[in-house]
Amino acid sequence: MSFQPDAEIDHEGPVTPYRQLAEILRARIKRGDWQPNRPIASESQLVQQYGLARTTVRRAIAVLVEEGLVFTVPQRGTYVSPPTVGQESLT
């Protein structure tokens, strides 16, 4: 499953919306929309931009946190993780 950074959420598609959003955010990070140690768009911004419920956005972010691609700071937001030693790409 691969989504482009500028893809839209397909609410009727076979992939759940939170997985679609996680893939889109991953592609946007890979493209360089957000740099390491810098915040990604807020939950509210993502809710508005993609027309999703806040719980769906949180679930997508949780997937990326679990993968180590982003980290959250309470009361501050979600940030792109710095590359780890030996990490060549986000594939």
Residues in the chain with pLDDT < 50?
A: 91
Amino acid at 55: T
Report helix, strand or coil for 56.
helix
DSSP letter string, 18-37: HHHHHHHHHHHHHHTSS-BT
29-55 pLDDT, tens per residue? 999 999 999 999 999 999 999 999 999
Question: 51: number of CA atoms within 13 Å, CB side?
Answer: 5
Q: What is the pLDDT of residue 8?
A: 93
* Whether this model's pTM surpasses 0.75: yes
Q: What pLDDT is recorded for position 88?
A: 53
Give the pLDDT of residue 85: 63
Residue 40's pLDDT is 97
